[in-house]
Amino acid sequence: MRFSDQFSKYYEEFLNDSTIEIKIARVDLVRPNNILLFIFRQESGTFGTVANLSDEARVMNARQHLIYTYVAQYSAFARLRFALEKMFARPLDLTYSSDRNVTMYESAKPMALLYQPLTYYDDTFVLQEYFIPKQNFQQWYDKLKDILKRKYEYVYLLNLTIRFVKRDQLTLLSYTKRHDSYAFVFYFRIKRNELGDNEVKSIHQTLIQLAFQCQGTFYLPYRQHYTYQQILQAYPMFEEFLEKKTSYDSIGLFSNDWYEYYRPESTVSIMVNQINEVELITNKFSVVEQRRTNSFHKIRDIVSIGDGGRCINELRQILKIKDGLVYIVNDRQRWTDIIERRTLFPIGRFVPCNFSNLTDVPIPSDSTDLVICYMGLHHLPQDQLHIFFKMIYRILRPNGLFLFREHHATEQLKPLLDVAHMVFNAVTGVDCELERKEIRAFRTIEQWRSCVRQTGFQDTFIYDEQEDDPTDDIMLTFRKPETECINTNDTNEIISNKTYTKVSAYFESNYFRPCEWLVVRILMAFGAYLNHTPFYYFPFMKYISIYWSLSLTEADFAIRKYGIIAALFVSPAFLMSITVGTFLTVAFLQLEFVSFIIRAIPAAQYKDEYEQLIIEKVDDHHEEFNFKESIDERINDIQILKENHLYAIQVPRHHTFTLILKKFALHSIKFNLISISQQNEQIQLELAVNNNNEERLVWVKQRSNMDIIYEFKNPVNPNQTHIILRVTIRNLFSFIRECTRFEADNSLTIIQIYDHFYY
């Protein structure tokens, strides 16, 4: 068919033809004005009406495999395909058979496997279907053509077929409840990553909005790219469906990911508190002693939430745990914890947690094997449950277990649960105010399971119900999924069998590298310290203590990992660490001794040191000049010697002295330097000529009012020449301004302007 605006009328001519069994319309994806209509008429014959089932599941034939695996995403093939299908009047990708099941089947083989072993594409396939009332076909299709012409980076439209669906008022969630409709079936191939999913989601949202404009709907069970409000708009009976589902399946036995994703949160009854009213069901932990492949591993590290550790010792006996860490997460420590755990000594590290305002806890990620929550989750703020579950998920190792107990709170049981809590509060002395504020967010067990699964946990379906408990208290077990990891044994075997230039290392050496580099950073810190403070105030002894503490810690880890011989007597890294540390210690002990003597001299007591500058302000337009705001806030003791012209200013010594002098020299207001601490002749400074720039070196030597004292090549960077020179104080600012021109192109650097000792 040439023009799409004739399609609806032409298609409807075949609707009532009883000889036609199948009608498939296919859109030209390159020129969407063109639509092909394929008709399959009923044949007469002696074959049966029901096809025999094969022993093996049907999979794609070679022609279909070629089309959808390698070429369907290219526009050139799309043109060729449409031309061939028009020429031969049959779809290239369908099997021609007298059996409807053979013609319309879908491959039972996962699409991702169709590429292998010849090549590998990390792609997947997505279907989506939209139902447009037949009277609005042209309104939909005119706008759809513009959408089809857009270019996408991570999504390819492989097929767009059209079929006809009659009005259905029998099915509850019917997508054609009000009108006979055309169904547009989109078949996408997308990159199997977030970029591909986001791009196809954007396309789906565009098509959903267009379908709504045309009074249409969309098919539900495919990708979850629509909102709850869009479901209600397309399926106003959706809430009735949820009610009927709950009525017929009150415990939530039948469920799937789509239902869990879109069903609204259950309403819960709420009051407020955190009462540790539950007790451990002992001798029910044999389930976690299983050692099957891909099952539960040896439990070593435990987190107990909501009590003082009352059952930890008993639990460790049951599970035969001899070592490992224990974390006790609770709101506070109580003296009654001693009675509950039956020992005066702590059985684990206490971690405080405010259960009324949940936040994450300072427990390392992937560090525990078992988390047991003894307090009822119904007492937690329900809007913060996701924080609580994410915290548990974070601290568990892959395959780690999360155990908790909750009531199966059906509507019939909730009044009894409220009474049980009130009686418990009365017996334990909870006052009326806390009783009134207690949170009681009761849910059914399936609802609790759904909450936990949404965080990423896997439901083990292992549970235990306390006998003769009228509150229907059930212990549930969830598992953190195991992450995919590289088979290091296979990888190491492959690497070891390869021929290449190999670099080997001492395994234990990495434990001592932090010690070596700590020495480097200590020396760097010492050099930076001298920029602003005399050496005899440097904390030599503290750094020595830190170094040897780190060395002992690293040596302990290395010994436990590799043994004392390999770690201490064979390792060159350990010998290097000891040697460098000894040299540092000897040097710092001598410096500390000298520093102690200097600090004992009263005259040597450290205080802020300043140089005094006599500055002339040449510009008269800024009568009330603020030196601290305009130059540097570290300037001190500003004295006016001559109104608006001469100032005596104190500036800090050392490296700050250089920075402030450069700021004066480069300020927009012109200043003249008269003297520095009563000296008005010459002052020394150091320059660096970079990149072996002979022209800049000659320029320095040609300056007047200065003398070069010493010149040397930088031993670390031979391309840099250092020059120490004397400049007359009155010409210092002008010389700085001249040098700054060349600092911009990195041919010259002012290293430092040297200050004086003072008395």
Spatial CA neighbour of 33 closest among 10, 55, 1, 65 = 1
Confirm if 302 and 328 have CB atoms less than 8 A apart: no
Peptide bond into 117 cis (omega under 30): yes
Q: What is the pLDDT of residues 637-677, one digit of tens each?
A: 888 887 657 899 999 988 899 999 999 999 989 999 999 99
More confident residue, 621 or 147: 147
* Stretch (H or E) spanning 649: strand 646-652
In this structure, whether the domain defined by 610-753 belongs to CATH 3.30.70 is answered with yes
More confident residue, 293 or 407: 407
For residue 502, the model assigns a pLDDT of 65
The contacts of residue 556 (CB under 8 Å, 6+ apart) are none
pLDDT band at 122 (very low <50, low <70, confident <90, very high): low
Least confident of 302-316, 354-368, 443-457: 302-316
For residue 64, the model assigns a pLDDT of 53
Bridge partners for 639 per DSSP: 648
Residue boundaries of the structural domains of the chain = 4-43+57-226, 286-479, 504-604, 610-753
Residue positions counted in the chain: 759
Chain centre distance of CA 146: 37
Spatial CA neighbour of 64 closest among 121, 101, 114 = 114
pLDDT band at 52 (very low <50, low <70, confident <90, very high): low
For residue 76, the model assigns a pLDDT of 60
In this structure, which amino acid lies at residue 409? Answer: A
Confirm if 280 and 374 have CB atoms less than 8 A apart: yes
Spatial CA neighbour of 230 closest among 262, 278, 185 = 262
Mutual angle of helices 540-562 and 572-600, in 10-degree steps: 160
Mean pLDDT score, 384-400:
92
For residue 114, the model assigns a pLDDT of 43
Q: Please state the pTM of the whole predicted model.
A: 0.42
Q: What is the mean pLDDT of the chain?
A: 81
Spatial CA neighbour of 283 closest among 250, 240, 311, 318 = 318
For residue 294, the model assigns a pLDDT of 47
Q: Domain 286-479 belongs to what topology?
A: Rossmann fold (3.40.50)
Confirm if 156 and 72 have CB atoms less than 8 A apart: yes
Mean pLDDT score, 569-595:
90
Q: What is the pLDDT of residues 277-334, one digit of tens each?
A: 445 554 544 444 444 444 556 788 999 998 888 788 888 888 888 778 899 998 888 8
Spatial CA neighbour of 219 closest among 168, 272, 284 = 168
For residue 614, the model assigns a pLDDT of 92
Instruction: Choose the most confident range, by mean pLDDT, from 10-19, 186-195, 268-277, 284-293.
Output: 186-195
Mutual angle of helices 513-529 and 540-562, in 10-degree steps: 170
Confirm if 457 and 479 have CB atoms less than 8 A apart: yes
pLDDT band at 69 (very low <50, low <70, confident <90, very high): low
Q: What is the pLDDT of residues 708-744, one digit of tens each?
A: 999 999 998 999 999 999 999 999 999 999 999 999 8
Instruction: State in words which class domain 4-43+57-226 has.
Output: alpha beta
Spatial CA neighbour of 161 closest among 104, 112, 96 = 104
Confirm if 67 and 60 have CB atoms less than 8 A apart: no
Question: Encoding tokens for residue 472?
Answer: 């229907």
For residue 734, the model assigns a pLDDT of 93
For residue 120, the model assigns a pLDDT of 43
Cα R_g (the chain), whole angstroms:
41
Spatial CA neighbour of 133 closest among 185, 175, 187, 186 = 175
Mean pLDDT score, 103-129:
56
Mean pLDDT score, 328-351:
81
The contacts of residue 439 (CB under 8 Å, 6+ apart) are 270, 271, 272, 273, 274, 378, 379, 380, 381, 382
More confident residue, 427 or 649: 649
Mean pLDDT score, 253-269:
73
Percent of the chain with pLDDT over 70: 79
Mean pLDDT score, 534-557:
91
For residue 151, the model assigns a pLDDT of 86
Mutual angle of helices 655-666 and 732-743, in 10-degree steps: 90
| Domain 610-753 in the same topology as domain 286-479 | no
